[in-house]
Structure 1
Amino acid sequence: MAEQSEQPGQAGQDAAAVRLLWGPPARPTRGPKPALSLEAIARAGIEVADAEGLAALSMQRVAGLLDYTKMSLYRYVPGKAELIALMIEHAVGEPPPPGEAPWRQQLTDWAHRMAEVLAAHPWVLDALSAPRLTGPRELAWLERVVAALDGQGLSGAERMDAAVLLVGHVRAIAAQQRQSREGSPEAEMLRALGGLVVAHAERYPALAAALAEPGDGRDNAFDFGIERILDGLAALIARRAGRL
């Protein structure tokens, strides 16, 4: 019985998010002509989350930044979950526009642009990990990947899987970079593991040999992963076209 009583509330929350993200701009249900915009509310929330993270976000904080009361803010946004959904939509913005570049260059540009968004708004990673309604702009990012691969001989499911692979890699590296105190996941891993591996080289000979090889000093994990994903897609496309 307890589970049944929670379902209508969740359904109502989802419906509110649908109206907020996908419906036409709505006026408050009561009171005078609206003086706030959803964009202004989202920007205020983003300001808090960018500076202090999602844990510091509240309807009260956002209302205070806008010089409104918390209760007046509820006339525009039903609650914190809907506020975060609105913030994600404004933070991610529009994806890179479609162009005439080959599919591989389009997806490379797409991945780098997404990485820039996550670096500018680290809290988005936390927000994206929770169940939520996808907004029009976030969905447009997936559309760009699928559209770039259109006409390459891949099935719809394969194009969707390619999008999932790219999104997963970009998010994983962004999460590592956020947690890295030095700003470089590879540098921090080498610092943390290097001494241990050297001290126990007989047990970890492959790691010891790999770490002993000179590198170029760059953090290549992001580009390496993107290139290998795209190499795999290129090989599959070539095989479908009979070139392999």
Structure 2
Amino acid sequence: MERRLPPVVARLWGREIPSRRGPRPGLELDTVVGAAVRLADRDGLEGVTMSSLASELGVATMSLYRYVGSKEELLVVMADAATPEPPPINGRAWRPYLTGWTRANRDFLLQRPWLLTLGQHAPPLGPRTLRWLDRALAALESTGLSHAEGINITTTLTGYASRQAALTHAMTATTGTVSEEVGGLVEYGEILGAVLDPAEFPALDDAVRANAFGAAEVWIDDADFTFGLSLLLDGIEALIARKADDRPTPIVANP
């Protein structure tokens, strides 16, 4: 028996059976979702409501439920529509490809920080988001790792890209009392130096006194991202090597 798809998945993949009842819809789903993405780009995710979207499209709010069953479904479809295509592999080995893949993942999240919130609620379901998973798994095919290990690696790299995008966005935001007062890593280190008790936070206090946060500020552009990513890729490389060492040596019969 064929599994019945959740309505939002059917919409994402064009598998929804059109209703024969009622008047024919006057819009396309792509038009509705495109308008919602424009609202999010302009006003943030909090600016996307069914009423604001209806106003943007010049239709009645209730008419939108012909295209998406709920606000939650709309957000899932928006996440897929706002995701760009993944980088092509173009014959690259797994490490250089995943380096570019993770960087591209971070970069589009920086361009649309509202996606950071959406990514926390559901696994990828649409064709665009799943193409990112597919390309990463394809890059790992020749490594000898299992499919499950490949998915775990992809999940880890996606999480790293998201955390780095969220951190960069938070450090560069200009709104909000706290971010205005902290300003950057130097100011952050100074605040920590004023409140830390060396007896309770000995290692962190030593790092603050050694100006570790001030030294790290020169990394803000890209080197901090590259450093952390290299650690992750080194771990993947070590896993590939360990798996290769664990493979049994083939027995060659004597001639």
- Tell me whether the two structures share a fold, i.e. TM-score over 0.5: yes
Residues 72-151 of structure 1 correspond to what in structure 2 (within 5 A)?
72-131=63-122, 134-151=125-142
| Residue 148 to residue 187, structure 1, CA distance change in 2 (3 Å) | farther
In the alignment, what sits opposite 2:38? 47
How far apart are the structure 1 equivalents of 2:132 and 2:63? 33
| Residue 29 to residue 118, structure 1, CA distance change in 2 (3 Å) | farther
Q: Which whole-Å deviations, capped at 9, do the CAs of 1:18-70 have from their partners, x for residues lacking one?
A: 22112336646544444322111111111111222222211121121111111
Q: What's the CA shift for 1:207?
A: 3.6
How far apart are the structure 2 equivalents of 1:157 and 1:177? 30
Q: Which whole-Å deviations, capped at 9, do the CAs of 1:148-179 have from their partners, x for residues lacking one?
A: 11121212222111111101111111111222
In the alignment, what sits opposite 1:232? 235
How far apart are the structure 1 equivalents of 2:123 and 2:236? 30
**Contact kept in structure 2, 1:194 and 1:211, CA below 8 Å:** no
Q: What's the CA shift for 1:229?
A: 0.6
Q: Is 1:209 the equivalent of 2:205?
A: no
- List gaps (5 residues or longer) in structure 2: 246-255
How far apart are the structure 1 equivalents of 2:183 and 2:238? 32
| Residue 103 to residue 201, structure 1, CA distance change in 2 (3 Å) | same
How far apart are the structure 1 equivalents of 2:151 and 2:145? 10
In the alignment, what sits opposite 2:250? none
| 1:146 alignment partner, SS class | helix
Match of 1:194 among 165, 182, 190: 190
| 1:217 alignment partner, SS class | helix
Q: How much is the aligned-residue C-alpha RMSD, in angstroms?
A: 3.0
- List gaps (5 residues or longer) in structure 1: 1-11
| Residue 113 to residue 106, structure 1, CA distance change in 2 (3 Å) | same
In the alignment, what sits opposite 1:165? 156
Q: Is 1:64 the equivalent of 2:65?
A: no
